[in-house]
Amino acid sequence: MISAIRHLKGSIPRQCMRSAAFNVNRRWMSAVNLSDADAVEKFRMLNSKSVLYFTATWCPPCKAIAPVYEEISTRYPHIAFGKVDVDENSDVALDFEVNAVPTFVLFDGEKAIEKFSGADSGKLEHHVMELEGR
């Protein structure tokens, strides 16, 4: 699957790839709900800088940080922000070794550069600012 996506990525004009729901260049865009492992992989491949937010509907700290994450996602238009529900996508959570929610994983290209758990808005903002400056 990965090689097929990489092959397609090279053969589809860039403007077509960017017109997908994973487009990071629209200033109004907030975090994208990612429904499965394929969506997460495509999201990471199409965006040079990205953040994944692992959450659960039953998690009080997740509910507390969610509006902060949404707000941050609108202030950094050159970073893509995705959300993964761990109950609906347990395989993705396992792939990223998520043991607690909320968990944030920041990527520069396909490389994970930071991972942390907890609803710490200051820490989230700090790491997103660092990612933007890379």
Catalytic residue among 32, 62, 86, 128, which?
A: 62
Catalytic residue among 34, 52, 59, 79, which?
A: 59
**Rounded to an integer, what distance in angstroms lies between the CA atom of residue 78 and that of residue 53?**
17
For the CA atoms of the chain, what is the radius of gyration? 14
Q: Specify whether 62 is catalytic.
A: yes
Per DSSP, helices labelled H in the chain are 2-11, 14-18, 37-46, 60-75, 90-95, 121-133
Q: Specify whether 59 is catalytic.
A: yes
CA end-to-end span of the chain = 29
Sheet holding 111-117, edge to edge: 32-33, 80-85, 49-55, 103-108, 111-117
- Catalytic positions: 59, 62
